[in-house]
Amino acid sequence: MARRTVRRPARQSARKSSAPSSGRQTAPPAGDREKIIAAFLTLLADKPIERIGFAEIAEASSVSLAQLRGEFPSTLAILAAHMKSIDRAVLSEDFGDVEEEPARERLFDVLMRRIEILAPHREAVRSLTRSARRNPPLALALNSLAVRSQQWMLTAAGIGASGPRGIIRAQGLAALFGGVLRTWIHDDDPGLARTMAALDRALARGQRFVSLIEDLCRIPARLCRLRPRRRRGESSEDTAAAA
């Protein structure tokens, strides 16, 4: 665990040193989409997602209802856009300093970086977690968004995320990461010791689970190789008799 916690400040200092030393850095003005997402997250931190209405979002973001409808068809679409922005922030990171590490170590770094980026939105995540526990359709919708994001996180860690096996990995990782987030929202330690320990344990369990699933996926192929081949025109009775 100690080795993991040392790499993060090194990467942060490298990013800071690469910034221009002269001139004040200012963020570009936020467009309608950014204002809407920010207002939605602020509202979500204070109330459940099912109680947030379009009029309230429009007023909080200082846009008209027409502008809001033009950007997003639903509150889930706003949430999806936010998760996409988190994905992009993680993917823009340089993980070259861990590319020679085992896959589990690389994934640990990627997911810890995701948690760091989520830090300003902890209360919104807490609110969503509470709502998902009592609202199964919402939980299913959030799971779909999470699986999509975790496919990108797997890719960032250099782990295959395509095809059936990739979907299995992403689904398992989405479930594991959701558990880690439930620890994180109650972790008051600035060093996130409880969160890192929870993530480490989750990835260990996930590694064993994926290995088991992949072994099970190989069983049909082995059975096919063991099945006797019938010659053209030969009936199943003939094959059984020959055996």
pLDDT in tens, the chain (243 residues): 444 443 444 344 333 333 344 444 444 456 899 999 999 999 999 999 999 999 999 999 999 999 999 999 999 999 999 999 999 999 999 887 787 888 899 999 999 999 999 999 999 999 999 999 999 999 999 999 999 999 999 999 999 898 988 999 999 999 999 999 999 999 999 999 999 999 999 999 877 655 544 545 455 555 555 555 555 555 555 544 444
Catalogue the long-range contacts made by 139-146 (C-beta closer than 8 Å, 24 or more residues apart).
141/76, 142/79, 143/171, 143/174, 143/175, 145/76, 145/79, 145/80, 145/83, 146/83, 146/174, 146/177, 146/178
Cα(74)–Cα(64) distance, integer angstroms: 15
Cα(140)–Cα(149) distance, integer angstroms: 14
Model-level pTM?
0.75
pLDDT of residue 134: 94
Supply 45's token pair: 């931190």
Instruction: Name residues whose C-beta falls within 8 Å of residue 91's C-beta, 6 or more positions apart in sequence.
Output: 152, 156
Cα(4)–Cα(14) distance, integer angstroms: 16
Torsion angle (degrees, nearest 10) of CA 109, 211, 152, 183 = -50
Q: Are 23 and 44 in contact (CB under 8 A)?
A: no
**Triad 77, 51, 75: Cα angle to 5°:** 5
pLDDT of residue 234: 53
State whether residue 97 is helix, strand or coil.
helix
pLDDT of residue 122: 97
Supply 100's token pair: 């020679």
Q: Is the dihedral of CA 199, 202, 204, 210 positive or negative?
A: negative
